Amino acid sequence: MLTALLFDLDGTMTDTDTLHLQAFRQLLKDEDGRSLSQAEFNERISGRANAALFADLFPDLDPTRRQALAKRKEALFRVLSPSLEPMPGLLRLLDHARDRAIGMCVVTNAPRDNAEHMLAAMDLAQRFEHVLVADELARSKPDPLPYLTGLQRLGASADQALAFEDSLPGVAAAHGAGIHTVALATTQPADRLLEAGADLVIEDFNDSRLWALIERMTGLPVIE
């Protein structure tokens, strides 16, 4: 029985990677004249929590300076994203879950200011009772702790849940928590997502294979 849906945010509920790439490029250019390619962004940045990410990007800086740079980058991102479009099919899925009394939770490596901004920019702030962010937990993705915490908040077991992700660390975290993981191919190729532990890779939430899976897990026909 499907009782819980757990969603990553960036790149999963809304396609924000281009905006994050722009913000990082501006930050790195202003800070030390560095450039950043799309490939480097996909490999080193996408899906990672800021603490580890900024330690990797700025190994010679002290933690206080890194934190200040992280805050500046996130402020740049928020300026670039006054409104955001939900991924195709997302609203249909959220409505379906609401009508079936399926619990929903956001599980993100983004800082809380960003998470709340993105949900508001999609007009989805009231849809989620629980929004879990990495820097408020002991460990971030790819550790399974964020998803295990999400299951706990929703009172669900892993075999009653679906997780939705787009990044390699996120897929690893959800898979490590034992949750059937659906990956969206917005930021990574399907083969890499499958290697990381995804059970299904889709383009968006309208994919018929996702809805067939939901029908099997609920034991109820899906209403178009």
- The catalytic site residues sit at 8, 10
d(CA 194, CA 197): 5
Residue 11 to residue 8: CA distance in whole angstroms:
8
Contact call for residues 165 and 171 (beta carbons, < 8 A): yes
Q: How far apart are the first and last CA of the chain?
A: 20
Burial class from Cβ neighbours inside 10 Å (0-12, 13-18, 19+) for residue 222 reads middle
